[in-house]
Amino acid sequence: MPVSLQCQVCTGAARELFSSLLPEQRARFARAAVPHAYRAHETIFHEGTPALAVYCLRSGTIKLFRRLKHGEEVVVGTRGAGDLAGLRGVLAGMPYASTAMTLEPAIVCAIPGEIFVGLVRENPMLGYRILVRLARESRLLEGQLVERNHDRVAKRTARFLARHLPEDAPSTSACAGISTSREEMAQLIGTSPETLSRVLHGLADEGILELDRKEIRVLDLEALLRRAD
C-alpha cells in the first residue's frame, strides 16, 4: 500500500505537543517520521518486540492489548487522534508491553525512537509536555484497570456506552457510535460476548436501550448514566 502522505509534524490534534520544536528540530522530525495509512484490524506493533518507534495517531482509533498465555486478549487501552502509542516502551528502552491494532482505518506516523528520544532530551519543553502526558495517561490507566477489577459488567457496559455517545446526543434519544462487532466490544469492556449480549438485552428489556444488529440506540440516557456511576 503506497502512501503519498507527508508528515507535517502533526498538524492535527498532537500539534500543540510538538509546538515547542525549533525549525531545525521540526525539520529533523518531519524527515524521520513515516506516516502510514492502516486499514481496520491491522497490527501496528507487537507485544514483546523491541520498541523502535513512537506512533502518533493523526486519525482513527486503535486498541492496545496484551495476550495471555492462555491466548486471550486483554485490552489495556485505546488511543484516538492526537494520542501517542509505544511511548513507554521507547522511553523505558524495553520491548513493547502490548500490541497495537487499529479498530478502524487510521493514519499513523511512526517516529523512530532515537529521533524521538533525541528531541525529548534536547528540548526541555517537549520533555516536560511528554512527562505531563505520560503522568495523565498513567493515572487514567490505573483508574480504568481498578474499575475493571471492581465494577460489575453491567456498570462497565453502561459507562462504555455513555463514553461512546456522539457529542450531539439529544438527552433522551441518542445513538451510540459503536462500529465494532460484539466480540470486539466485549473485549474493550473486558468481558465475554455472551455476557455482553445478556447485559445489553437486560438494558433493552428495561427500555433503556434499543438493540439492532448494527446499532445501539439509547432511549433513556438518564437511566443509563445512573447505572454508569
Partner DNA sequence: CGCGATCTTGAATAGCATCAAACTTGGTGG
Partner DNA sequence: CCACCAAGTTTGATGCTATTCAAGATCGCG
Residues that bind a second copy (CB under 8 A): 66, 68, 72, 74, 76, 87-89, 91-94, 97-98, 120-125, 127-128, 130-132, 134-139, 141-143, 145-146, 148-150, 190
> Should residue 153 be labelled a site residue for DNA when binding is judged by CB under 7 A?
yes
* Strand arrangement, sheet containing 62-67: 43-45, 99-102, 62-67, 73-79
3-class secondary structure per residue, 154-168:
HHHHHHHHHHCCCCC
Phi-psi region of 216 (alpha: psi -120 to 50; beta: other; left: phi over 0): beta
Q: Are 132 and 91 in contact (CB under 8 A)?
A: no
Q: Are 95 and 53 in contact (CB under 8 A)?
A: no
In the complex, least distance from residue 171 CB atom to a second copy, rounded to whole angstroms: 25
Q: Beta partners for 212?
A: 215
218 burial (CB, 10 Å; 0-12 / 13-18 / 19+) is buried
> Should residue 20 be labelled a site residue for DNA when binding is judged by CB under 7 A?
no
**Residue 188 vs 216, nearer CB to a second copy:** 188
* Strand arrangement, sheet containing 34-38: 34-38, 106-112, 53-59, 84-85
In the complex, least distance from residue 102 CB atom to DNA, rounded to whole angstroms: 16
C-alpha cell, 61: 482509533
The entry of DNA, a second copy, none near residue 88 (CB within 5 to 8 angstroms by kind) is a second copy
> Should residue 198 be labelled a site residue for DNA when binding is judged by CB under 7 A?
yes
**Residue 3 vs 94, nearer CB to a second copy:** 94
Which of 82, 193, 225, 228 is in the footprint of DNA by CB under 7 A?
Answer: 193
Which of 61, 98, 99, 191 is in the footprint of DNA by CB under 7 A?
Answer: 191
Stretch that binds DNA, among 4-12, 45-53, 85-93, 148-156 (CB under 7 A): 148-156
In the complex, least distance from residue 163 CB atom to a second copy, rounded to whole angstroms: 19
Which of 16, 122, 147, 194 is in the footprint of DNA by CB under 7 A?
Answer: 194
> Should residue 200 be labelled a site residue for DNA when binding is judged by CB under 7 A?
yes
C-alpha cell, 74: 486483554
Q: Beta partners for 54?
A: 111
> Should residue 197 be labelled a site residue for DNA when binding is judged by CB under 7 A?
yes
Residues that bind DNA (CB under 7 A): 72, 152-154, 181-183, 190-198, 200-201, 211, 213-214
